[in-house]
Amino acid sequence: MSKNSVKPLVEVENLKKHFDINTGFLSTKPLKAVDDVSFSINKGETLGLVGESGCGKTTVGRTLLHLYKPTGGRIWYDGREIRTKEDISYLRRKASMVFQDPYSSLNPRMTVSDIIGEPLDVQKKYTNKNERRDRILELMNYVGLNSEHASRYAHEFSGGQRQRIGIARALAVDPELLVCDEPVSALDVSIQAQVINMFVELQEKLGLTYLFIAHDILVVRHISDSIAVMYLGKMVELSDADEIYNRPLHPYSKSLLSAVPIPDPKTARERKRIVLSGDIPSPLNAPSGCPFRTRCPYATEECATSMPQFEEVSKGHYVACHRVNEIN
């Protein structure tokens, strides 16, 4: 699903991750957190992954890095399929993750220097202590921390600074791919902008590729080349960031974008807000057919009986909707 002829750095095909949930005495039921998701990311680009809480965004990122073992599907990194322990070890030398919560993802008993240096220790990325120290200070400089911070502990820092420590730690292994799991959602709005701009600068400086997970589509649009929209474990739309923002085709994407605030009062008054009825179904008891049909104003009998295919409806624009041509 690459936008052009460039060979993707990351390819994911029909990825599935199901969790067995106890439902009674000796009985379990699969919770389909990620169900048949496919996408690719070109080297040096950013794919933004958006959707409501609980739609499976974080599970996609963790399964991609094999922090969760995939239930099904295939993953390629730079043309190499990731299947064996050797493949996973190779992937983890090339990819890293920035976690959502800067308060719980850092060890309170370790200094900033040791937190950032831990991946260097594990991957044996230095030959002597001076080289280790210099690399830690270089990483701290990348994210706007100074050398005085190295001997302090995580609890002495603000949320934004803690997230910078987490980003420096993720960069320690010289990754090509960063999976960013809602890295700004726990931060104040003013700090969010600083951290997002830092991600953009790091990408330009280090040639990074991002899978950027967030529920705020404005944040995702600012940093992403492409945007994928998820709902209840399924991917419902995927296209260029500007294309999805200006011409969403799936009813769920339209609803998400109608909720984005507009700074111009006149334009905001003229725009129609699309309010979805009902609550998100439980992934344990997902609706038959299209998972969005219980909240979709355009749903028909066909939507209840069969899952729509995730198909290319125009160049580089993929949608999973039976009625996409009728409603647009």
Q: Domain limits of the chain? A: 8-327
Q: Are 145 and 136 in contact (CB under 8 A)?
A: no
> CA-to-CA distance for 185 and 182, rounded, in angstroms?
6
What is the mean predicted confidence (pLDDT) over 29-56? Answer: 93
Between CA 221 and CA 41 the distance in angstroms is 16
Would you say 43 and 203 are in contact if contact means Cβ atoms under 8 Å apart?
Answer: no
Tokens coding 68: 């969760």
Counted residue by residue, the chain has a size of 328
User: pLDDT tens for residues 25-34?
Assistant: 888 888 999 9
165 vs 280, residue with greater confidence = 165
Q: Which two tokens stand for residue 198?
A: 């830092």
Sign of CA dihedral 60, 62, 65, 70: negative
The highest-level CATH class for domain 8-327 is alpha beta
Q: Decide if 115 contacts 138 (C-beta within 8 A).
A: no
The answer for residues whose C-beta is within 8 angstroms of residue 321's C-beta and 6 or more apart is: 236, 249, 250, 251, 290, 308, 327
Contacts of 12 (CB under 8 A, 6+ apart): 37, 38, 39, 40, 60, 64, 73, 74, 75, 76
Q: What is the mean pLDDT of residues 89-98?
A: 94
Burial 18-42 (b: 16+ CB within 10 A, else e): bbeeeeeeeeeeebbbbbbbbbbbb
Confidence of residue 2 (pLDDT cuts 50, 70, 90): very low
For residue range 216-225, what is the model confidence (pLDDT) as tens digits? 888 888 899 9
Are the CB atoms for 215 and 53 separated by under 8 Å? yes
Q: What is the pLDDT of residue 26?
A: 80
Show Cβ contacts of residue 193 under 8 Å, excluding neighbours closer than 6 positions.
Answer: none
Mean pLDDT of 189-206: 91
Asked whether residue 1 carries a pLDDT value surpassing 60, the answer given is no
Lowest mean pLDDT among 170-184, 201-215, 274-288: 274-288
Mean pLDDT of the chain: 90
Q: Which residues contact 22 (CB under 8 A, 6 or more apart)?
A: 28
The proportion of the chain whose per-residue pLDDT surpasses 70, expressed as a percent, equals 95
Residue type at position 233: G
Ranges 174-188, 206-220, 257-271, 313-327: which has the least confidence: 257-271
